[in-house]
Amino acid sequence: MIDTPYLLFLGDAPDGLAAKVAQGIKDWRPENCAGQFRMEGCKADMKLPDMSLTEAKEAGAKTLVIGVANRGGVISKAWKQVLLEALDEGYDIASGLHNLLRNEPDLAAKAKELGRTLHDVRIPVVQYPIANGEKRTGKRVLAVGTDCSVGKMYTALALDRDMRKAGMKSTFRATGQTGILITGEGVPLDAVIADFMAGSIEWLTPDNDADHWDIIEGQGSLFHVSYSGVTLALIHGGQPDALILCHEPTRDHMRGLPGYKLPSLEAVRDMSLTLAQVGNPDCKVVGISINTQHMSDAEATAYLAEVEARVGLPAVDPYRHGAERLVEALAAL
């Protein structure tokens, strides 16, 4: 569990895209953000108050979260100076970078000396069990995609937001680094040992109130040959009662796999449901989430209508239009 509120470290981000972790935190948990820390030349802006380490500390910030990707996988000297000062100021530091904070000797030494915590959310900190497949109380919904990076995390976060708005009980369950930094906890599934993948998801989504929903962040795709095993572990460990299909319509091949076409929504629906029903025979596919960010308003509206008519399920872009219709479909289960 990462202490909040955060001071978001944007470093010397060359553009907004480089700070997409910070953007995710700001978009979905603004209440966790005391402010942003930007270095000279930073081109990203979360529209949060710019604060020094001292100012943010006085405003209550507890953890400096690295919200920006580092260039070349190296923690630069300029960054390092800020991170060391943050430890001196009393902050913990949280990071999803590939190269770990704990492997930087100066950071590790100072954190140990001062009793601060370095959260490397890329690395599991729990000894997960092997999945036992036992039926759990409460309800679960999982987003499954035609491909990687089609909007599964945003779909889950929008569902969580709109379920709470509708007065329903829900918890977003993060399974990736950005999701973990947004919520402060979760399972970094892509770094879990193969045998414990499904068990880690059982651990993440335990028994709960009968009317509580776990909104499980999806990963990969059953049709993405690099990561499909991770997706199936989510389906079987998550034991979902409901699936949401996720798709990005403008892509011409699977992410990172030239020559691999995206599967149809129908293929993802049939394959995911058949596999999900192994663990939960009552599982249903309840809706479709389309990432229309590369479409105009008119294109998006027309595409959503076409998909909805063809597949026979509510089809929305939850980020653009809200997830209310998906929430209604879940509430009706």
Minimal distance, residue 198 CB to a copy of itself, in Å? 6
Q: Are 160 and 330 in contact (CB under 8 A)?
A: no
String marking each residue 83-112 x if it binds a copy of itself according to CB under 8 A:
---------------x--------------
Q: Which residues contact 153 (CB under 8 A, 6 or more apart)?
A: 24, 143, 176, 178, 179, 217, 218
Cα 237 to its chain centre, rounded Å, is 17
Instruction: For the chain, report the end-to-end CA distance as a whole number of angstroms.
Output: 32
Question: For residue 19, which phi and psi values (nearest 5 degrees)?
Answer: -110, 35
125 binding a copy of itself? (CB under 8 A) = no
Pick one of 47, 115, 132, 210: the residue that binds a copy of itself (CB under 8 A). Answer: 132
Residue numbers 221-240 binding a copy of itself by CB under 8 A: 222-223, 225-233, 235-237, 239
CA distances for 29 relative to 5, 6, 32, angstroms: 10, 10, 5
Q: Is 199 in the site for a copy of itself (CB under 8 A)?
A: yes
Q: At what angle do helices 77-89 and 105-114 cross, to 10 degrees?
A: 0
Site for a copy of itself in 49-78 (CB under 8 A): 71-72
Segment near a copy of itself (CB under 8 A); pick from 12-20, 41-49, 80-88, 187-195: 187-195
Show the CA angle centred on residue 14, arms to residues 11 and 18, nearest 5°.
75
Q: Could you give the count of Cα atoms lying within 13 Å of 101 in the half-sphere of its Cβ? A: 27
Instruction: Provide, rounded to whole angstroms, the least separation between the CB of residue 279 and a copy of itself.
Output: 5
Q: Report the nearest approach of a copy of itself to the CB of residue 77 (Å).
A: 20
**Orientation of helix 265-279 relative to helix 297-311, angle to 10°:** 50
Q: Does 128 interact with a copy of itself (rule: CB under 8 A)?
A: no
Q: x/- contact string, 247-266, with a copy of itself (CB under 8 A)?
A: -------x-xx-xx--x---
Our CA dihedral for 179, 185, 189, 190, rounded to 10 degrees, sits at: 60
Q: Which stretch binds a copy of itself (CB under 8 A): 3-11, 55-63, 153-161, 274-282?
A: 274-282
Q: Which is nearer to a copy of itself, 7 or 232 (CB)?
A: 232
- Residue 176 corresponds to which tokens in the numbers above? 């990736």
Among 35, 151, 184, 279, binds a copy of itself (CB under 8 A): 279
Residues found near a copy of itself in the complex (CB under 8 A)? 71-72, 98, 129-133, 189-195, 197-199, 222-223, 225-233, 235-237, 239, 254, 256-257, 259-260, 263, 271, 274-275, 278-279
